[in-house]
Amino acid sequence: MTNPYKQILVAIDCSEESTQVLGRAAALAERDGTHLHLIHVIEPLALAYGADVPMDVSDLQSSLVKQARDSAMEYARRYQVPESNVHVELGSIEKTIQENAEKLDCDLIVVGSHTRSGLAILLGSTAKGLVPGANCDVLAVKITDQ
């Protein structure tokens, strides 16, 4: 049976749980001709905390983007994803993932899904929020405690 997926976009949060999501995507991409892309989206601080941020946060945001890129590159190296296939962007999480999936002509988006609290709620809602607007398949990998 041939792999129906040629371009896979893997949304990671750069936590250790990203290995579960990447592991599943890498298993799907083992066949020749399938390309993995990683994406990590950082919500602009003004979006995350409301537009009334009382100070200039551009330096902090630049630092966050650099740290996220460094972390995403570590995951990329572990899974042999070329640097040109690593995307770290500022924006609305679901919208940015969907836009990149379209731009890269992806036929699958892989994202983690949780049922816990804190950051896990955000990621779980991201998985749910991607499905209606995606123009390709979405695989929600259930994150388990290891």
Residue 18 lies in a domain: yes
Residue 1 lies in a domain: no
Domain carrying residue 39: 7-142
Provide the β-strand partners of residue 42: 90
> What is the number of domains present in the chain?
1
CATH number at residue 128: 3.40.50.620
Tell me the pLDDT tens digit for each residue of 79-122.
999 999 999 999 988 899 999 999 999 999 999 876 544 444 44
Residue 138 lies in a domain: yes
Tell me the pLDDT tens digit for each residue of 14-67.
888 899 999 999 998 887 789 999 999 988 866 555 555 556 667 888 888 899
Specify whether the CB–CB gap between 140 and 112 falls below 8 A: yes
- Which of 31-35, 125-129, 137-141 is predicted least confidently? 125-129
**Encoded amino acid at 6, one letter:** K
Q: Looking at residues 61-76, what average pLDDT do you find?
A: 92
